[in-house]
Structure 1
Amino acid sequence: MNRFNLVCWNCRGISSGDISNRAHNFIRKFKPLIVCFVETKANEDRVYRFCQKLPADWDWAAILADGFSGGIIVAWNKIIGTVSPVVSSRRALHLVISNNVYSNCLISVIYNASNSQSQRNLWYELSKLSAFNIPWFLIGDFNAITSSEEHRGGSFAYYSRKALNFLNFIEANNLLDLQFSGPKYTWCNNQSGVARRWAMLDRGLINLAWSSLFGSYTLRHLPRLHSDHAPLLFSGFKHISNHKSSFRFENYWIDYIGCHNAVHSAWDFHPYGNPIHAFTHLLARSRSKIIDWRASGLSNLDADIINTENAITSLEVTDSLNADDLPVLEEMYAKLTALQRLNSKKWSQRARMQWIRDGDMNTKFFHNINAPVGTSTPFLKFEISMGLLSLIDVLAALPDDLPCLSSVDCDFLSREVSREEIHMTVLDLPSGKSPGPDGFNAEFYKFFWADIGDQLTDAIQYFFANSIMPFSWGKTFISLIPKKDNPSSVSDYRPISLCNVCYKVISKILANRLKLVLPKLIGREQVGFVVGRCAFDNIIALQEVVHSLEKDYLHPPRMLIKIDIEKAYDTVSWNAILATLTKMNFPSSWISWISACLHSTSFSLLINGQPSPWFKSCRGIRHGDPLSSFLFIIVSQNLTSILNHAQNLGMIPGFCNLLKYNFNHLMYADDLILITHASRRIARNINLCLSIYSNISGQCPNVNKSAVFFPSWFNSRVTKSISSILNFNIASFPLTYLGVFVSPKRLAKQVFNSMVIKITRQCSRWNQSFLSPAAKVVLINYSLLSIPIYYLSVCPVYDTTLQEINRVVRRFFWHKGSNRNGIPAVAWDDITRSKTEGGLAIRNLIHAKHSLMAKNILHYYNYDDFIWVDILHVKYGGNNSWVDVPPAQCSWFFKGLLSSAHKLRSCFWIKTVNPNKTSLLYHPWCLDIPLAFKPTYINSDLDLQSMNLCDFLCNDSWDWNKLFMLFGENFLFFTNKLGVIDCRSSNHWVWSPKSGSSKLASSVYHFLNHNHNWVGWKKLWELNVAPRVKHFIWLVFRGRISTSEYLYSIGLGPRNACALCGLKLETIDHLFVQCPRAIDVWTSVCQKLNISISFLDGFRSGSWITFDGHSLFIKSVIAGL
Structure 2
Amino acid sequence: MNASWLIQRAKENWLKQGEEDLKFLFSKVKRRQGSNKMAVNLFAAFPGSNNREVINCIVQHFQGLYNPSPPSLLDVSLFPIGNSLRNLYWEFLSCMVTDREIKKSVFSGSSTSTPGPDGFNYHFYKTSWLISGPLVCKAVRSFFEKGYIPRGVKATILALIPKTRNVQSISDFRPIALCNTIYKIIAKTLSNRLKPIMPHLVKHNQSGFVKSRISTNNIILAKEILYMARKNSIYKVFCAKLDIRKAFDTVSREFLLNRMLQKGFPNSFVNLIKACTSDVNYSVLVNGAIEGFFSSTSGLRQGCPLSPYLFCLVMDAFSALLDNGEFKGINVDDFSLSHLLYADDVLVFGEATVENCLCLKKIISTFSNATGLHVNLSKSSIMFPKFVKNHAELCNILSIHNISEVITYLGIPLSFNRLKVADFLPLTDSISVKLSGWKASLLSFAGRLQFLKYTILNSIAYWILGAIIPKTVSKFFKKVCSKFLFFGDCNAGKKLHLVSWDNVTRPKEFGGLGLPSLASLQFAFNCSIITRMYNLQSPLSQWLTSRYISPWSPIHSFATKFWRDVCLTAGMVKYKFSFKITRNAPISFRWDHWLCNSRVEEFLATQDLNYQFPTFYSNSLVRDFILGDNLALLSCFSPLMKSNILNVGIEEGYICLWWDNNKDCKHYNFVLEFYKSHPTVSWHKFIWGPKFGLRYSCFSWLALVGGIKTAEVLNKRNILVPLSCSLYFSQLESVAHLFFECPYSFNIIRTLIRGSNCFLMEPSLLQLLEWIDGNGLVSVEEKNFFSLIVCCCVYFIWKERNQRRFNNAFNSSKSTVFCIRKVVQAKISNWKNSSHMLGKLYS
- TM-score computed with the length of structure 1 as normaliser: 0.60
Instruction: Report which of the two has the higher share of helix.
Output: 2
In structure 2, do the counterparts of structure 1 residues 449 and 683 end up closer, same or farther at CA, with 3 Å as the change threshold? Answer: same
* Structure 1 SS opposite 2:233: coil
1:358 matches 2:17 = yes
State which of 243, 246, 250 in structure 2 corresponds to 1:571.
Answer: 250
Instruction: Please report how far the alpha carbon of residue 1033 of structure 1 lies from its aligned counterpart in structure 2 after TM superposition.
Output: 2.2
1:635 matches 2:635 = no
Determine what percentage of the aligned residue pairs are the same residue: 26
1:65-114 deviations in Å (ceiling 9; x for gaps): xxxxxxxxxxxxxxxxxxxxxxxxxxxxxxxxxxxxxxxxxxxxxxxxxx
Name the CA distance, whole Å, in 2 between partners of 1:943 and 1:698.
Answer: 67
* Structure 1 SS opposite 2:416: coil
In structure 2, do the counterparts of structure 1 residues 603 and 930 end up closer, same or farther at CA, with 3 Å as the change threshold? Answer: same
Match of residue 613 from structure 1: 292
In structure 2, do the counterparts of structure 1 residues 1042 and 635 end up closer, same or farther at CA, with 3 Å as the change threshold? Answer: same
Match of residue 878 from structure 1: 549
Instruction: Please report how far the alpha carbon of residue 367 of structure 1 lies from its aligned counterpart in structure 2 after TM superposition.
Output: 0.8
Name the CA distance, whole Å, in 1 between partners of 2:435 and 2:233.
Answer: 46
Name the CA distance, whole Å, in 2 between partners of 1:869 and 1:571.
Answer: 34
Q: Does the CA contact (< 8 Å) of 2:322 and 2:363 recur in 1?
A: yes
1:114-173 deviations in Å (ceiling 9; x for gaps): xxxxxxxxxxxxxxxxxxxxxxxxxxxxxxxxxxxxxxxxxxxxxxxxxxxxxxxxxxxx
1:755 matches 2:427 = yes
Name the CA distance, whole Å, in 2 between partners of 1:965 and 1:703.
Answer: 61
Match of residue 656 from structure 1: 331
Structural mapping, 1:512-911, within 5 Å: 512-554=192-234, 557-599=236-278, 601-645=280-324, 647=325, 651-656=326-331, 658-659=333-334, 662-716=336-390, 719-765=391-437, 767-816=439-488, 823-860=496-533, 862=534, 865-874=537-546, 876-878=547-549, 881=552, 884-888=554-558, 890-902=559-571, 904-905=573-574, 907-909=576-578
Match of residue 87 from structure 2: 407
Name the CA distance, whole Å, in 2 between partners of 1:1063 and 1:448.
Answer: 65
State which of 729, 737, 761 in structure 2 corresponds to 1:1062.
Answer: 729
1:348 matches 2:9 = yes
Corresponding letter in the other structure for 1:733: E
Q: Does the CA contact (< 8 Å) of 1:956 and 1:983 recur in 2?
A: no
Q: Does the CA contact (< 8 Å) of 1:343 and 1:362 recur in 2?
A: no
* Structure 2 SS opposite 1:491: helix
Instruction: Please report how far the alpha carbon of residue 619 of structure 1 lies from its aligned counterpart in structure 2 after TM superposition.
Output: 1.1
In structure 2, do the counterparts of structure 1 residues 553 and 816 end up closer, same or farther at CA, with 3 Å as the change threshold? Answer: closer
* Structure 1 SS opposite 2:765: coil
Match of residue 801 from structure 2: none
Q: Does the CA contact (< 8 Å) of 1:1095 and 1:1103 recur in 2?
A: no
* Structure 1 SS opposite 2:164: coil
Match of residue 115 from structure 2: 435
Instruction: Please report how far the alpha carbon of residue 905 of structure 1 lies from its aligned counterpart in structure 2 after TM superposition.
Output: 5.0
In structure 2, do the counterparts of structure 1 residues 610 and 910 end up closer, same or farther at CA, with 3 Å as the change threshold? Answer: same
Q: Does the CA contact (< 8 Å) of 2:21 and 2:444 recur in 1?
A: no
Instruction: Please report how far the alpha carbon of residue 627 of structure 1 lies from its aligned counterpart in structure 2 after TM superposition.
Output: 1.1
Name the CA distance, whole Å, in 2 between partners of 1:844 and 1:562.
Answer: 33
In structure 2, do the counterparts of structure 1 residues 654 and 347 end up closer, same or farther at CA, with 3 Å as the change threshold? Answer: closer
Corresponding letter in the other structure for 2:305: P
Q: Does the CA contact (< 8 Å) of 1:1020 and 1:1030 recur in 2?
A: yes
* Structure 2 SS opposite 1:615: strand
State which of 684, 697, 700 in structure 2 corresponds to 1:1030.
Answer: 697
CA RMSD of aligned residues (A): 4.0
Instruction: Identify which range, 356-365 or 618-627, moves more after superposition.
Output: 356-365
Name stretches of at least 5 consecutive residues in structure 1 with no aligned partner.
1-249, 251-300, 302-341, 967-974
Structural mapping, 1:165-564, within 5 Å: 345-348=6-9, 353-358=12-17, 360-371=19-30, 372-373=33-34, 376-377=38-39, 378=42, 379=55, 380=58, 381-382=61-62, 383=64, 385=67, 387-389=69-71, 394=74, 397=77, 399=79, 401-554=81-234, 557-564=236-243
1:876-916 deviations in Å (ceiling 9; x for gaps): 4435646x34414x444444444444555565455549999
* Structure 2 SS opposite 1:1041: coil
Corresponding letter in the other structure for 1:652: F
1:433-489 deviations in Å (ceiling 9; x for gaps): 333333333333333333432332223223322333233432333222233343323
* Structure 2 SS opposite 1:656: strand
Instruction: Please report how far the alpha carbon of residue 506 of structure 1 lies from its aligned counterpart in structure 2 after TM superposition.
Output: 1.7
Instruction: Please report how far the alpha carbon of residue 813 of structure 1 lies from its aligned counterpart in structure 2 after TM superposition.
Output: 0.7
Instruction: Please report how far the alpha carbon of residue 571 of structure 1 lies from its aligned counterpart in structure 2 after TM superposition.
Output: 0.3
Instruction: Please report how far the alpha carbon of residue 366 of structure 1 lies from its aligned counterpart in structure 2 after TM superposition.
Output: 1.4
Q: Does the CA contact (< 8 Å) of 2:280 and 2:295 recur in 1?
A: yes
Match of residue 777 from structure 2: 1109
Name the CA distance, whole Å, in 2 between partners of 1:1108 and 1:1052.
Answer: 44
* Structure 2 SS opposite 1:480: strand
Name the CA distance, whole Å, in 2 between partners of 1:681 and 1:589.
Answer: 43
Corresponding letter in the other structure for 2:290: P
Corresponding letter in the other structure for 1:610: A
Instruction: Report which of the two has the higher share of strand.
Output: 1
Instruction: Please report how far the alpha carbon of residue 632 of structure 1 lies from its aligned counterpart in structure 2 after TM superposition.
Output: 0.4
1:1017 matches 2:684 = yes
Name the CA distance, whole Å, in 2 between partners of 1:503 and 1:562.
Answer: 35
In structure 2, do the counterparts of structure 1 residues 1038 and 713 end up closer, same or farther at CA, with 3 Å as the change threshold? Answer: closer
Name the CA distance, whole Å, in 2 between partners of 1:813 and 1:825.
Answer: 12
In structure 2, do the counterparts of structure 1 residues 873 and 834 end up closer, same or farther at CA, with 3 Å as the change threshold? Answer: closer
Q: Does the CA contact (< 8 Å) of 1:1045 and 1:1067 recur in 2?
A: yes
Instruction: Please report how far the alpha carbon of residue 1027 of structure 1 lies from its aligned counterpart in structure 2 after TM superposition.
Output: 1.6
Name the CA distance, whole Å, in 2 between partners of 1:1029 and 1:680.
Answer: 67
Q: Does the CA contact (< 8 Å) of 1:359 and 1:772 recur in 2?
A: no
Equivalences, count: 746
* Structure 2 SS opposite 1:729: coil
Name the CA distance, whole Å, in 2 between partners of 1:872 and 1:714.
Answer: 26
Name the CA distance, whole Å, in 1 between partners of 2:598 and 2:427.
Answer: 38
Instruction: Please report how far the alpha carbon of residue 560 of structure 1 lies from its aligned counterpart in structure 2 after TM superposition.
Output: 2.8
In structure 2, do the counterparts of structure 1 residues 1002 and 1082 end up closer, same or farther at CA, with 3 Å as the change threshold? Answer: closer
Corresponding letter in the other structure for 2:515: I
Corresponding letter in the other structure for 1:776: R
Instruction: Please report how far the alpha carbon of residue 827 of structure 1 lies from its aligned counterpart in structure 2 after TM superposition.
Output: 2.4
Corresponding letter in the other structure for 1:770: L
Name stretches of at least 5 consecutive residues in structure 2 with no aligned partner.
43-54, 618-624, 793-819, 821-843
In structure 2, do the counterparts of structure 1 residues 509 and 955 end up closer, same or farther at CA, with 3 Å as the change threshold? Answer: closer
Corresponding letter in the other structure for 1:388: P
In structure 2, do the counterparts of structure 1 residues 576 and 949 end up closer, same or farther at CA, with 3 Å as the change threshold? Answer: closer
Q: Does the CA contact (< 8 Å) of 1:745 and 1:892 recur in 2?
A: no
Instruction: Please report how far the alpha carbon of residue 842 of structure 1 lies from its aligned counterpart in structure 2 after TM superposition.
Output: 0.4
In structure 2, do the counterparts of structure 1 residues 607 and 681 end up closer, same or farther at CA, with 3 Å as the change threshold? Answer: same
Corresponding letter in the other structure for 1:500: N
Q: Does the CA contact (< 8 Å) of 1:543 and 1:742 recur in 2?
A: yes
* Structure 2 SS opposite 1:699: coil
Structural mapping, 1:19-30, within 5 Å: none
1:219-254 deviations in Å (ceiling 9; x for gaps): xxxxxxxxxxxxxxxxxxxxxxxxxxxxxxx9xxxx
Name the CA distance, whole Å, in 1 between partners of 2:646 and 2:261.
Answer: 48
Q: Does the CA contact (< 8 Å) of 2:179 and 2:304 recur in 1?
A: yes
In structure 2, do the counterparts of structure 1 residues 629 and 1049 end up closer, same or farther at CA, with 3 Å as the change threshold? Answer: same
* Structure 1 SS opposite 2:157: strand
